[in-house]
Structure 1
Amino acid sequence: MVYSCSWPVYQIYAKIVPNFKAIIDTCNLWRNFDDIQDSWASLESIIDYYGDNQDAIVPNAGPGHFNDPDMLIVGNFGLSYEQSKTQFALWAILAAPLLMSVDLRTIRPEYKAILQNKKIIAVDQDPLGIQGRRIYKHRGIEIWARPITPVVQGYFSYAIAFLNRRTDGTPSDIAVTLRELGLINIAGYQVEDLYEDVSYGVLLPSTKIRVKVNPSGVVILRANAHADHRTTFRYGQFSTPTTLRPTDNLLTFQSFVPQSTARLPITQPTRIPSLSTTRTHYNPFLPIQL
């Protein structure tokens, strides 16, 4: 049983600042924005709201208390197949409640498969309960990232969603290194495409990844931190990442700092002039060692 609250959104409509401490103490989930409608425009407005207001929204989420961007409309009438994949992936990045709004008697198999994707559900239900953020936005391309388990030798693992909101009818290619995404574990990351169910092995921070993203579609990757067996750390307490700023640049989450290395360098926000959104034709995911 969960306790869902709607009154925070009505306070926001009335220009009243919600008491989020009381909300967190009382509610398991709560609404912040408009009711979702069965349309891509409605879904985009919610994505924009959560990205534009993330500095106020994200700190309130945690295990047992979550922001609710509203129901999944996957399998209804208003979203294409690609747009349905986008909603499910972004809801997982947002640590959102996965509440379906669809007639299960008539849902088509391809939409049912989206809702039953266990690997994306696992991202959504990650025990850290940290809500993800939009870390890049430029010319219709967005990148969203969420710190998840396992945490290995002081480094978060991550779920990363590449979103293409362009409407020119052609897939866009995005190229970026793991380091530019804030993934700085020198031992690398085991990277997997969660929709294609393909593993790309252990990639280093210097590895450039390239993804092809369909219009209004998404590619969602999981990057599990890999262990460096030459190093041993003691672990302190987790805290919500605090180093993100407004997303005109590509930014990074603050690395979890082990107690024994309090002065461990932490990566700073980095611009990514190498981000490529040209529409050439090559493999959807092509790691390149720089």
Structure 2
Amino acid sequence: MTWERFLRLASGARTGLVAALLVVAVVLASPPRLAVAVDNGVARTPPMGWDDWNSVGCNVNETLIQQEANAIAANGMAALGYRYVVVDDCWFNPARDAAGNLQGNPSRFPSGMKALGDFLHGKGLMFGIYEVPTQFAAWGVDYLKYDWCSSSGTISDQVAAFGRMRDALASTGRPIVLSINPNSFHAITGPSRNWGDVANQWRTTEDITTSWDTGHVNSFPMGVRNIVAVDSTLAAYAAPGRFNDPDMLEVGNGGMTDTEMRTHFSMWAMMAAPLIAGNDLRGASAATLAILTNSGLVAVDQDALGMQGVQILDDGTRRVLAKRLANGDVAVALFNSGSSTTTVSTTAAAVGKAGSSFSLHDLWTNAVTTTGGTISAGVAAHGTVVYRVSGGTTSSGSSFASAASSRCLDDPMSATTNGTQPIIWDCSGAANQRWAAGGGTIRVLGKCLDAPIGANPGAKVQLWDCNGGSNQQWTINTDGTVRGVASGLCLDVTGNATANGTLIDLWTCGNAANQRWARL
């Protein structure tokens, strides 16, 4: 739903956190009750399902929802995990009932929302709706979509308000996925913090449209290429129970080629995004369903580790993302945003694999090839090749990839001299880029990452003999920052530069991309 559209619907009558959306969540089975950041036990993997807005907008009604629910159960999508059916906007009656409760629009939902829930429950499914939390629970809510639609408000204001909804939902005792949009027409705040303390998923950009590239950095509307540029740098935020949400899928809605649609689906899966289809499933083509039901990519998206793919290459045209999987495999996306076919390459070592022989399973063609280490493909314009890489072993330690440059934290020339200052360099997976984090220390080649005693902003970070001092203790935060225990300062790529060889220093902690690191 666009903010421009929201403003027309709201007519200025609502501000702040606006509950103008019904979210009907249909699931085939209850997810397990496990602890997560918001302690609600849901969304251990990115939610999957369908939302009506992209295909029908306000033309939503009871019959449509029933037909779409039937389609998702019959076309193979439900069996793959598409569980949530989301009724986005225009479902509600502006006049409340005699008890003051929100109710469905009688012309759109003549049987009432409870009856719709009964229909879904009768099919062995689950149902949800927006309003006062106790009403959610009474109606069997499983998923709430909640937006910030104010013309003002700081991030702190939003955190407080979303937190109140989180707590209200928790008080019902019912597990409910909380999906928020902290972006508004006054500020695009979604990528500015890890919202996993208040929600299960959060929008990171303005609304998507049926386009490859609108030319927008983060303003309405966004094309697939534009969204990938934002969301691919936020891997540090994602974990089971909390996921970046780059918006609903436009697969099957036209406006893009089949190659672009496949890239759209590939990159959402690699970014551990909620896979919420937005097309009319009742008449979906075989080509559309083939994309939405690509079981190999669904498995990558739904992997139990809940990790988002880490971007280890971005040269303006080519991107490489690597996503570690629970069984030791690594999914690797080779993305070409250019206008002609180009070769996109990486190595098994760079994506965290050790060994001399690996299998590459192409998740679109299902072809399987072997390699001694090179991972490469000629990728069509606007295309993406995704390999599932198996074989070998998982490399020890972790690479730390900078969100600003997609280059890795590097011990220059594998030096072991005290005082050596780390740099960023093209990710290679070599030993001088594999950092062992444990016991509060971060170590490479037998040396500890060290903040000089009494360090001030701008001081260099360095390698030093490990001595157990607090100046060698580090906290790796969920927003991707790495904070020194003694100094209180964060690892920072000097001057926000992105070139090979840029030095790493210590600086006042913020949330700029040059202080965010994703581990692979």
TM-score by length of 2: 0.41
Between the aligned partners of 1:49 and 1:147, the Cα distance in structure 2 is: 20
Paired position in structure 2 for 1:281 = none
1:85-125 alpha-carbon deviations (Å, 9 max, x no partner): 10111011100010000011222211210111101100001
Paired position in structure 2 for 1:251 = 427
Sequence identity, in percent? 26
Cα 1:40/1:255, change in 2 over 3 Å: same
Is 1:149 matched with 2:326? yes
Paired position in structure 2 for 1:282 = none
Say how many residue pairs are matched.
240
Residue among 189, 193, 218 paired with 2:358 = 189
1:178-204 alpha-carbon deviations (Å, 9 max, x no partner): 33x334412543321110101114x33
SS at match of 1:149: coil
Paired position in structure 2 for 1:213 = 379
Paired position in structure 2 for 1:32 = 204
Conserved in 1, the CA contact under 8 Å of 2:189 and 2:204? no
1:1-290 to 2 correspondence within 5 Å?
Answer: 1-2=142-143, 3-10=177-184, 13=187, 20=194, 23-41=195-213, 42-51=223-232, 54=233, 57-151=234-328, 157-167=329-339, 170-179=340-349, 181-186=350-355, 188-201=357-370, 203-204=371-372, 207-226=373-392, 243-245=400-402, 246-247=405-406, 250-251=426-427
Q: Partner letter of residue 315 of structure 2?
A: H
Between the aligned partners of 1:198 and 1:256, the Cα distance in structure 2 is: 34
Between the aligned partners of 2:209 and 2:386, the Cα distance in structure 1 is: 24
Pick the structure with greater CA Rg.
2
Q: Which runs of 5+ in 2 are unaligned?
A: 1-141, 144-176, 214-222, 408-424, 447-499, 501-520
Cα 1:175/1:38, change in 2 over 3 Å: closer
Higher RCO (CA-CA < 8 Å; seq separation 6+):
1
TM-superposed CA distance for 1:265, in Å, is: 5.7
Q: Partner letter of residue 208 of structure 2?
A: I
Between the aligned partners of 2:203 and 2:258, the Cα distance in structure 1 is: 26
TM-superposed CA distance for 1:138, in Å, is: 2.0
SS at match of 1:196: coil
TM-superposed CA distance for 1:225, in Å, is: 3.9
Conserved in 2, the CA contact under 8 Å of 1:8 and 1:18? no
TM-superposed CA distance for 1:263, in Å, is: 7.6
Between the aligned partners of 1:80 and 1:176, the Cα distance in structure 2 is: 26
Conserved in 2, the CA contact under 8 Å of 1:187 and 1:227? no
TM-score by length of 1: 0.71
Between the aligned partners of 1:221 and 1:107, the Cα distance in structure 2 is: 27
Q: CA RMSD in A?
A: 3.4
SS at match of 1:102: coil
Q: Which runs of 5+ in 1 are unaligned?
A: 152-156, 229-234, 272-290
Conserved in 2, the CA contact under 8 Å of 1:211 and 1:219? yes
